[in-house]
A and B are shown apart, each in its own frame.
Chain A
Amino acid sequence: MSWVVGILLASAIAVQLISALGLLLMPNVYDRIHFLGPASTIAPVLTAAAVVTVEAFDHQGIETVLLAVFLCVFGPVLSHATIRAARIREHGDWRERPDESVRRPQDPAGAGRP
């Protein structure tokens, strides 16, 4: 069973490391925030799986699962609030501006918007 725990822990650390490097290397805040997703969803689940493999659902197992569920649910909420705040700080409003050209599937050139 120890090799299962080792693989789960190594995967969790790898996900965290890639997320941290992405946070460091990406060019702007809109790109960087994507790297919070794996760190707040995949890594806690892998860690909780490793703990449950060893402890089953005793005190530590249940608390770690609770922590993983909390991070999975509220991590994206925090990411959403952060990027909304960044957009408001930058442009004054989070909504799309009239002069902003957004590329959409039915509007490939980004033109022709009202």
Chain B
Amino acid sequence: MNAWLWAAAACLLVLVPCVLRTVRGSTFDRLLGMQLAGIVVSLALVMLGEGFERSIYVDLALVFGVLSFVGSLAFVRFCERWV
């Protein structure tokens, strides 16, 4: 394993508090956990792409980052009044 893969594995460790925050708490606490998990997973995909030398993972990270933002924004708008 190289440094990139170790860093990607450490990102999995970072996901644990995000998951704990997402499975309990108020609606917005859960949303915050989901938003942070989206950022962490995007960066983990970049690290995996470098570690495995597969540039398609970096494309995936970019698309995931954009979709995570759009999805979170949609959730936030609905949670404002209706959910």
- B7 lies within 8 A of A23 (CB): no
Q: Which residues does chain A contribute within 8 Å of B35, judged by CB atoms?
A: 36, 78, 82
A89 to B15, CA, bound (A): 27
Question: How many B residues face the partner with a CB closer than 8 A?
Answer: 46
The digit string for B27-40, where 1 denotes a CB below 8 A from any CB of A, is 11101110110011
Q: B residues bordering A, Cβ < 8 Å? A: 3-4, 6-7, 10-11, 13-18, 20-21, 26-29, 31-33, 35-36, 39-40, 42-43, 46-47, 49-50, 55, 58-59, 61-62, 65-66, 69, 72-73, 76-77, 79-81
29 contacts between A and B (CB under 8 A): A2-B3, A12-B7, A12-B43, A17-B10, A19-B36, A20-B14, A20-B15, A20-B18, A21-B17, A23-B18, A24-B17, A24-B21, A33-B32, A39-B40, A43-B39, A43-B43, A44-B43, A55-B50, A60-B55, A63-B55, A63-B58, A63-B61, A64-B46, A78-B69, A78-B76, A81-B77, A82-B28, A85-B79, A88-B81
